[in-house]
Amino acid sequence: MKQINVNYITEKLAEKYGINLRGDLLSDRLEIRPTDIEYGVGFILKVKLEWRSLTAEFIPDNFAAGLIKTMGASDSHKKAIFKLLAQRWSSNTSEYTNKLYLKINGEEVSPQDPIHWSSNWSHLYIKLTKTPVIHGDLNNKQLENAFLNISCSLLGLILSLLPLEEVAIEEGAVGLPEGALKRIEVNRYERSTFNRQACLTFHGYICKVCEFDFKQKYGKLGEGFIHIHHIIPVSELGSNYKVNPETDLVPICPNCHAMIHRRNPPYTVDELKNIISLNIKVGKD
């Protein structure tokens, strides 16, 4: 297998999800392990380039029964997020076919039908596949990005079923982008970090108001940069409110984010789009 930068992959995953990870490149596969969970009771992601396909598997440790039981006991909101992420992964393109295999207690079940899943889990297996991925057709960077993308998708699915903690934020920090709030304390699995990445998985990195693309404008420097806007202001969210990353969050550029919050209550995305459209029209007249 061509050499890939393991540190690059684990650092990018850690940046996206706020988790400490270690990666090991073996002769035929990449193994990624969260170091925040004690060895033996956690899991690894096993990513492997097979014949014409790339696979990523969730492999629990030998004594991970508690972890699996916790994932199985996830509430309907968490399982709904898993379903949305599963649907996103399984959205095939003209170039690739993506599949997701889910086994609970040894029985293959539909990843998109959580209402019929057992809630008492003793065994869990998740596998993602992407085809066709042909080793000889990819250079090192392309292979690296393919490993990163499939690992990112699998890690998101796993985290959607794990307990996530809120990060305490500075008083008066309303309006800051999710994931950019000032941290008073650091937790291992931060809900805001997961929600940010899930939102970007659903919506991408282009501003939903003005369609500005940081990567296109700034290249590598702008890659992965965007603000995340709460459609319902943070200050109005109740302590028990559960954010849906697909419908409650939206990626917008810093300029549009600042403009949205120039009014209280904030402008909606459509209202700001209309303001831009009317201003352009006036400028042309």
Report the phi/psi class of residue 172: left, alpha or beta, with left for phi > 0 and alpha for psi in -120 to 50. Answer: left
Nearest partner of 144 among 19, 17, 22, 47, judged by Cα: 47
Structure tokens at 271: 């209202």
Q: Residue 9 carries which side chain, given as an amino acid letter?
A: I
pLDDT of 86 above 50: yes
Structure tokens at 265: 């209550």
| pTM score | 0.83
Other beta carbons within 10 angstroms of residue 82's beta carbon come to 24
pLDDT of 173 above 80: no
Are 165 and 187 in contact by the 8 Å Cβ rule? The answer is yes
- Check residue 240 and give its pLDDT: 75
Half-sphere exposure of 90 (CA within 13 A, CB side): 15
Nearest partner of 243 among 251, 252, 234, judged by Cα: 234
Q: Residue 1 carries which side chain, given as an amino acid letter?
A: M
- Check residue 170 and give its pLDDT: 34
* Average pLDDT for 269-285: 84
Residues sharing a CB contact under 8 Å with residue 38, sequence separation 6 or more, in sequence order: none
Nearest partner of 194 among 11, 10, 14, judged by Cα: 14
Identify the band that residue 183 occupies on the pLDDT scale cut at 50, 70 and 90: very low
* Average pLDDT for 190-204: 86
Radius of gyration, CA atoms only, the chain:
20
Q: Which residues of 147-172 are buried (b: 16+ CB within 10 A; e: fewer)?
A: bbbbbbbbbbbbbbbbebeebebeee
Other beta carbons within 10 angstroms of residue 232's beta carbon come to 14
Nearest partner of 266 among 234, 225, 226, judged by Cα: 234
Identify the band that residue 82 occupies on the pLDDT scale cut at 50, 70 and 90: very high
- Check residue 234 and give its pLDDT: 73
pLDDT of 105 above 70: yes
- Check residue 1 and give its pLDDT: 55
Strand partners, 107: 104
Other beta carbons within 10 angstroms of residue 179's beta carbon come to 20
* Average pLDDT for 76-89: 93
Identify the band that residue 13 occupies on the pLDDT scale cut at 50, 70 and 90: very high
Q: Which helix (DSSP H) or strand (DSSP E) does residue 105 occupy?
A: none
Strand partners, 102: 109, 126
Other beta carbons within 10 angstroms of residue 266's beta carbon come to 20
Are 42 and 121 in contact by the 8 Å Cβ rule? The answer is no
Q: Using CA atoms of 142, 148, 153, 155 in order, give the dihedral in degrees to the nearest 10.
A: 170
pLDDT of 171 above 60: no
Indicate the average pLDDT of the chain: 86
